[in-house]
Chain A
């Protein structure tokens, strides 16, 4: 398994501002992902964070709104840019240790935009 530390755990932000969420893993992992989840609902994949290159975004998500960095095999950031109340959600970091194995999740970042 992997220990995933996600920061901040929650935040309340003003509309129009940006928030950067950090994900730190205690071991080198093959793949890292960012998901969004409305409370009590399922997870939607935002993008795959690629080490040393641009992230791969899912349909409906764009780099200008959700820039992602992954400078090494244990760390990634997700920025939610120019926030609006519709961005209020839980954002989750997920990792896969090696190809074909299970995914593990951070505890999530609960974002509220006012």
Chain B
């Protein structure tokens, strides 16, 4: 079973601060996805990274996939209260396990006004 270690588990910051969430594994993933989930809703896909070393930007969010495709990070610049939520990384293993995702433990982010 491929495991994803996500950290930190909790993050409480003030509006305007920067933050980084990490997702690490000893295994290689064919792709890695980041989701954001709000209470009472299912996870919503933010981005998928596929290529080792890939960097993707989504407004104030920057996603990076490690060169070896074993780790990823999510960096938020100038966080806003609307960024509050549960952030989840999820890796798709290679081979025939199409569609199956391994999730990290999640990061609960709270941004205070």
Give the interface centre of A33, A103, A107 by most chain B CB atoms within 10 Å.
A103
> When each residue 17-44 of chain A gets 1 if its CB lies under 8 Å from chain B and 0 otherwise, what string results?
0000000000000110100000111111
List B residues at the A interface (Cβ < 8 Å).
1, 6, 30-31, 33, 35, 39-45, 48, 86, 88, 90, 98-101, 103-106, 108
Q: Is there contact, CB below 8 Å, between B103 and A102?
A: no
Q: From A41, A44, A108, give the contact of B42 (CB < 8 A).
A: A108
Residue numbers in B under 8 Å from A45 (CB-CB): 100-101
Q: Is there contact, CB below 8 Å, between B45 and A31?
A: no
Which of A91-114 touch B at CB < 8 Å? 92, 94, 96, 99-100, 102-108, 110
Q: From B41, B100, B108, give the contact of A108 (CB < 8 A).
A: B41
Q: Using A30-B99, A103-B99 as known contacts, say yes or no to A42 and B45 having CB atoms under 8 A apart.
A: no
Residue of A nearest to B44 (CB): A105
Q: Is there contact, CB below 8 Å, between B42 and A92?
A: yes
Q: Is there contact, CB below 8 Å, between A99 and B99?
A: yes
Chain A, interface size category, equals 20 to 34
Q: From A9, A48, A92, give the contact of B99 (CB < 8 A).
A: A48
**With A and B bound together, what is the CA distance between A67 and B100 in angstroms?**
19
Q: Is there contact, CB below 8 Å, between A33 and B99?
A: yes
Give the distance to chain B from A60, nearest Cβ to Cβ, in Å.
11
Q: Is there contact, CB below 8 Å, between B48 and A42?
A: no
Q: Using A102-B33, A107-B40, A108-B40 as known contacts, say yes or no to A96 and B98 having CB atoms under 8 A apart.
A: yes
**With A and B bound together, what is the CA distance between A110 and B40 in angstroms?**
8
Residue numbers in A under 8 Å from B104 (CB-CB): 42
Residue of A nearest to B108 (CB): A40
**With A and B bound together, what is the CA distance between A6 and B41 in angstroms?**
11
Residue numbers in B under 8 Å from A41 (CB-CB): 105-106
**With A and B bound together, what is the CA distance between A42 and B88 in angstroms?**
7
